[in-house]
Structure 1
Amino acid sequence: MTQPKQDLAGELTRLAQAKELARIEELWLERLDELPTQSAFYKSWIKEMRHAGATERTEELIGLLVDHLLSSDRARPALRILLATIPFYPHSETLRPHLLRAMRGYYREIDNLETLLQLARLDGPDAKEKSLVEGFKAFREWERLTPGQVWQHYDWGEGVVQELDLDARKVRFAFRHDANKEMTVEGARRYLRYLEPTHFLARRAKEPETLARLAETDPVGLIKAVLASQEGSQIKQGELKTLLTHGVMPAEEWNNWWSKAREALKLDPYIDFDAGAGARAVIQLRERPRSFAEEVREQFFAADAGTVVKAELIRQMARKPKETELPDKLLEKMAERLEEEWRLAGDEHPARRLEIAYMLEDLAALRPGGASPRHDAGPLLDQIGEDYTALVELDHVDYGIRALEALMHRDGEAGCRRAAELLPHAEVKLAQAIWKALDEEQHAELAVAALQQMLDDPLENPDTYAWAVRAILDGSWGHLEDYFPASAIVQEVLDHMETWHRLAGAEGADPERAEGARKLLGKMRTLLAAGKYEAISKAVDQAHRDLAARLRAKIADHPALSATFKQQADRVIRVTRPELEGTGTAAMGAGPSIVQKSDELLCTEWAYQKKAAELREITAVKIPRNSKVIEEARMEGDLRENAGYQYAKEEQKMLVQTQASLTDMLSRAVIRHARDVDATRVGFGTRIVVQNLDEDVEENYTILGRWEADPEKHVLSMQAPLAMQFSGRREGEELTVERPGGGTTRYRILRIENALATGEWDRPAAPEAEPVKAGEGG
């Protein structure tokens, strides 16, 4: 019989302690395929081998194992073992070729890998200048600057590396507001913070769509991903909201999502969470879970535990492996609590009693020998009779589905008609079950009637309405396309959105309907914008020219749509229906008049004109050129296999986002001139000369805005941590400054000058066209 790996690891350790080196070598060669690959084992075992006087032979055995792993393309475990080994052999020329081979296998996707290995002094003529440990550390510092890695700036946010130019020693990043930010290697390392690929912020920068899907399918999994990146594995509810509503989900969807996620958090044994503390509630990831029985007892008997919580706990108990012990006393107490609730419900509440009967039935199945349920659900279903609307009163939707299946089985074809009548009133999961039970051909008329009722009054059932509209627009219900074409549905949705917009802001409106209106506004904006405004594209593609033009005008004038939405939707409409070009509307313009103004952005005339020129170039040159490329690519046929079309569409998205961002920022810009600068204290437009008291050297910094900032030239944004610590200070003052990378430095302010007085920053750029107007500072 073959030894398990853990037994083999223990045997190798025992033999090393006994100095039975010949037996170790024999076992090593016999069991090469089964040797451990955990780094912790090798850190311990190598120490024992060194005590046994087998330092050199250990080195050879490690090399033999690594070669074996690499021959079967297992570079990851090979590298892991070598990284545990090289601290014991930092200058080993025996291990160097093994390390290089493992790194070439593991990092093979890096384009300039060989150059990086030489820069790190792991390979090439200077390879022996550094130890293997130092060399690997240097390599990792370079590898972090390769395309796809993510870094963070205090003001710019997260940026993804796009290009590493080793000859020029420069790195190009894509930040949210600057897709082509270039920095020197030294500047990036000094002013940015590296984020590991598993860090939540790195994942948000690279794969927001994946996180958005995770938010829908596994809310607790998403929250755990956030917690794993937080100091102390904890976060406040308000901080979680900020993280997720910037890139993962729209802010208007937060309340609905959080109400579901918080219930799931209560049930997770790895999460500690005080649900009653509001936005300040701390969510913490536990190292060890509570036992399942403890979790069930705590949740089931909580004062606020409703049917949904209790039913879900029973379902989780049923899914546990048979070997999971569930104390019989606990099951008995749960049944007693449900019996008490049965008595309190009384005969006048059959829906409530039906849920309790189902819970007791499921609980009985968990008892040893499968005890008989104490109450039969059959008579309760008979009480429901022909009116299926009683099912919407059930708190737990799965019990509603269970009852629905039993009723439809009992009632046959009449049950299908009654279920269809229930559809407009059912919550999403129950509605999905009804839809699945209806035959596409045989019950088409029933389905159409039910959907039309739902579409006429969305606020009656907002969530199910949103589900139905999504299914219609994404083509899931292709058999109903003749009844509900996208052109009609989008027009109808936009009409409803105007009504909801008025209702959401109306004084004295019914709170429940106003909340439903706000919820649907957010859902429909997201739905219409999904897939690069695919629903709008589909609608205008189906519509005749006049209807398409009216649809475009409606979006342009819509009070519930943002300026960015209107701009991007209009681009899509004009790409889909090029003949509408030139029939546009002022509401689609790129000017700042349609962008809400808030939070002034101080800048110089030079920076303002530079950004205005960028906006003009995007609007007048790049976007039209991109639209032409897209149209030419569309003429080539099958768009699914058309790489040129896909690339152009991605470029279009980036251009439109950049255009909207620049338009917004220019609308908030306030230009400062030399006459506006107060040189008696540190602030915008000043240049300061300071004495570094720790190193006895003079340094100088110019304090301007985010557009002018260039840290490598000592031009700082006034929001930079260093600039903020000097802000408001006067000549002669001394202060201790905290550095972004850690540590402190003592400074004395020697001089404060007007940086704009030289004219370098306070001059307008050469006029190319009429600049967009901005506020002037007085």
Structure 2
Amino acid sequence: MGENIGDFSAREQQILSLIESGNLDRLDDAWLEVIADSPKEAEFYDKFIRAMRRAHALERAHELLLLALEELKTREQWELLHAVVRIAARFWPDSKPLRPYAAAALKGVYSHLPQLSAMIAACKGLPLDQVFQRFDSLLQLLPGEVYSHAYWGEGIVTDLDLSAGKITLDFPEEKGRVIAIEFLRKHLTYCPPDSFLARRRKNPQELYQLGQGAPSELVKLVLRGNQGRIKQAELKEALVGSVIPEEEWNEWWSRARNELRIDPWIDFDVRRGAHAEIVLRNAPRSAVDEIAERFFAHDTTMADRIAAVRKLREVVRAGAEPEPELVG
């Protein structure tokens, strides 16, 4: 069965249709027309290769793809060249003709990196798919990246010496700690730039502003870096002093707690106090879920229950399916 080709141009659709229908004798001319206009989406090349594989024509796909890569290189479309060669590397990891295009793509996309030559040298001799995996891992070692250690806390990379296998980090209590890259990989954890720990280490003021404007969003950020659940006391430990000043905690937590109780993405039983667990849901609570919580909450009054029943009636009229325990 052919793949969905509705998002591509007419010429690109023609290429995929020719392959799916077995008209490979018309493919060369159509391909030259397509690459003259350089398809803008790497997804097209992926679908092209997969279609050719189904047609048992991978060798020919390799030849045609090289023509497209040469066109992208000539036009210095480095980002697209990089994306397409990465796709090709999965199908032809041992292809020698692809390697110069991989090198050109890396040099084009990452020309701003002082460590680029050393990074490319560190990938020498690897199969092409592993070249990109190794390069990605080296990108995580560059200055500005953040790593967490159980005792040292979060450290910011300040220098990388690939030839010596050493990396330098600034930790909260020690600046300029030099460690072996292998030690870092074994004993430290990488913190992605958008993670709570990385942002707390590099820009706590930004997190403070987030917490002032949207307390529940700050809590969600912490939860995403903590496997989706955290106790109230642990949340306080993560925020007080580094993000929220201790003297502001009680007022801030009062606002945050009220937001969390009504946030459809959060499960939070406030009755357990500091031991209460805050959980990030995989899906938001439905209207019926919220009505059930309002109806069965320990501090719900009769007026609250009547209001919940009225709300349930509205939801049912709107077409939602009520929970069995709510309707008897």
Shorter-chain TM-score range: 0.7 to 0.9
1:256 paired to 2:262? no
- Which of the numbers 65, 81, 91 marks the counterpart of 2:94? 91
CA contact 1:59–1:95 (8 Å) conserved in 2? no
For 1:234 and 1:27, the matched residues in 2 are separated by 52
Q: Deviations over 1:140-186 (max 9, x none)?
A: 33332221111222211111111123444322210110011112333
Matched length: 301
Question: Displacement, 1:86?
Answer: 0.8
- Which residue pairs with 1:133 in the alignment? 129
1:26 paired to 2:21? no
For 2:195 and 2:32, the matched residues in 1 are separated by 38
Q: Deviations over 1:256-302 (max 9, x none)?
A: 222222222233333333333333333333333344x4466457767
Sort the Cα spacing of 1:330 and 1:141 in 2 relative to 1 into closer, same or farther, 3 A.
closer
What letter is aligned with 2:155? G
What letter is aligned with 2:268? F
- Which residue pairs with 1:152 in the alignment? 148
For 2:178 and 2:213, the matched residues in 1 are separated by 38
- Which residue pairs with 2:278 in the alignment? 283
For 1:200 and 1:209, the matched residues in 2 are separated by 12
- Which residue pairs with 1:239 in the alignment? 234
- Which residue pairs with 1:210 in the alignment? 206
- Which residue pairs with 2:120 in the alignment? 117
TM-score normalised by L of structure 2: 0.74
Q: Deviations over 1:734-769 (max 9, x none)?
A: xxxxxxxxxxxxxxxxxxxxxxxxxxxxxxxxxxxx
For 1:70 and 1:170, the matched residues in 2 are separated by 37
- Which of the numbers 184, 196, 203 marks the counterpart of 1:188? 184
Sort the Cα spacing of 1:223 and 1:37 in 2 relative to 1 into closer, same or farther, 3 A.
farther
Sort the Cα spacing of 1:251 and 1:66 in 2 relative to 1 into closer, same or farther, 3 A.
farther
CA contact 1:66–1:78 (8 Å) conserved in 2? no
Sort the Cα spacing of 1:167 and 1:95 in 2 relative to 1 into closer, same or farther, 3 A.
closer
Q: Deviations over 1:181-226 (max 9, x none)?
A: 1123333334333223233212222222222221112222222222
What letter is aligned with 1:264? E
Q: Deviations over 1:318-346 (max 9, x none)?
A: xxxxxxxx99934999xxxxxxxxxxxxx
For 2:264 and 2:176, the matched residues in 1 are separated by 44
For 2:169 and 2:132, the matched residues in 1 are separated by 24
Sort the Cα spacing of 1:200 and 1:105 in 2 relative to 1 into closer, same or farther, 3 A.
farther
1:59 paired to 2:55? no
Sort the Cα spacing of 1:84 and 1:255 in 2 relative to 1 into closer, same or farther, 3 A.
farther
For 1:81 and 1:284, the matched residues in 2 are separated by 40
- Which residue pairs with 1:525 in the alignment? none
CA contact 2:288–2:312 (8 Å) conserved in 1? no
TM-score normalised by L of structure 1: 0.34
CA RMSD of aligned residues (A): 3.9
CA contact 2:291–2:312 (8 Å) conserved in 1? no
Higher relative contact order (CA 8 A, sep 6+): 2
- Which residue pairs with 2:106 in the alignment? 103
Sort the Cα spacing of 1:72 and 1:262 in 2 relative to 1 into closer, same or farther, 3 A.
farther
CA contact 2:146–2:154 (8 Å) conserved in 1? yes
Q: Percent identity?
A: 33
- Which of the numbers 178, 196, 199 marks the counterpart of 2:174? 178
Question: Displacement, 1:89?
Answer: 0.9
What letter is aligned with 1:89? W
For 1:80 and 1:37, the matched residues in 2 are separated by 6
Q: Deviations over 1:16-36 (max 9, x none)?
A: 443344469737844956654
For 1:280 and 1:30, the matched residues in 2 are separated by 62
- Which of the numbers 2, 5, 8 marks the counterpart of 2:7? 5
Sort the Cα spacing of 1:101 and 1:277 in 2 relative to 1 into closer, same or farther, 3 A.
farther
- Which residue pairs with 1:673 in the alignment? none
What letter is aligned with 1:134? Q
What letter is aligned with 2:191? L
For 1:23 and 1:132, the matched residues in 2 are separated by 27
Sort the Cα spacing of 1:251 and 1:54 in 2 relative to 1 into closer, same or farther, 3 A.
farther
- Which of the numbers 307, 314, 320 marks the counterpart of 1:329? 314
Question: Displacement, 1:66?
Answer: 8.6
For 1:109 and 1:90, the matched residues in 2 are separated by 27
For 1:290 and 1:210, the matched residues in 2 are separated by 29
What letter is aligned with 2:270? A
- Give 5+ residue unaligned stretches, structure 2: 302-310, 319-328
What letter is aligned with 1:157? G
For 2:34 and 2:143, the matched residues in 1 are separated by 43
CA contact 2:118–2:163 (8 Å) conserved in 1? no
Over alpha carbons, which structure has the higher Rg?
1
For 1:144 and 1:267, the matched residues in 2 are separated by 38
- Give 5+ residue unaligned stretches, structure 1: 122-128, 307-325, 334-778
Q: Deviations over 1:546-581 (max 9, x none)?
A: xxxxxxxxxxxxxxxxxxxxxxxxxxxxxxxxxxxx
Q: Deviations over 1:452-500 (max 9, x none)?
A: xxxxxxxxxxxxxxxxxxxxxxxxxxxxxxxxxxxxxxxxxxxxxxxxx
Question: Displacement, 1:114?
Answer: 1.4
For 2:274 and 2:33, the matched residues in 1 are separated by 60
Sort the Cα spacing of 1:30 and 1:131 in 2 relative to 1 into closer, same or farther, 3 A.
closer
CA contact 1:269–1:295 (8 Å) conserved in 2? no
Sort the Cα spacing of 1:80 and 1:202 in 2 relative to 1 into closer, same or farther, 3 A.
farther
- Which residue pairs with 2:322 in the alignment? none
Q: Deviations over 1:684-722 (max 9, x none)?
A: xxxxxxxxxxxxxxxxxxxxxxxxxxxxxxxxxxxxxxx
What letter is aligned with 2:218? L
CA contact 2:119–2:138 (8 Å) conserved in 1? yes
Sort the Cα spacing of 1:153 and 1:46 in 2 relative to 1 into closer, same or farther, 3 A.
same
